[in-house]
Amino acid sequence: MEGSVKDLSSYRFSCAIDSLEAARILMEAGKYKSAVNRSYYAVFHGLRSVTALDQFDSSKHSGVIAYFNHGYVKNGIFDKTISKLIDTCYRLREKADYQDFFLVSREMAQEQIEKAEKIIQMIEPYLKEQWGLAESDNKMIEGPELEDQKTEVYNP
């Protein structure tokens, strides 16, 4: 494989940003199921951008999530509230994708996108530190700030 672990992590994070943008576009177009799917994939690619730094990957989504929770949440690198956000995004995406006749409302899709934005905002500072970028360098995600949240974001 060509490229470095940093390159792979950065590529996966850019996929997360692209998926989040696609989710917003689909949301505005009234494609709520697809918006839920894309916002979940923003989360998934974001997690894989972190686990790439350990040269870890899994063919199963549950494997990536379990590794992230064990290696990063349990060890205190990320606040445990991120696990709940990831889990709810994962479960809604599974229902939307695999349950027949499951209807996704505008509110459900909007909430999923907001959770994905929070997760990406939580992991971005960690990634920048690992990549050797200053916090102010090239802010990658646009969206609502977490000022009113009591969620702790990675802070070295």
Output the pTM of the full model. 0.85
How far apart are alpha carbons 139 and 64 in whole angstroms? 25
Q: Does the pLDDT value for residue 138 go beyond 70?
A: no
Q: How far is CA 140 from CA 31, 92, 101, 121, in A?
A: 25, 25, 36, 9
3 — pLDDT class (breaks 50, 70, 90): confident
**pLDDT 10s digits, 72-119:** 999 999 999 999 999 999 999 999 999 999 999 999 999 999 999 999
Give the gyration radius of the chain's Cα atoms: 15
AA letter at 110: Q
Structural domains in the chain, CATH included, are 5-131 (1.20.120.330)
Ramachandran assignment for 137, one of left (phi > 0), alpha (psi -120 to 50 degrees), beta (any other): beta
Per-residue confidence (pLDDT) for residue 147, from 0 to 100: 36
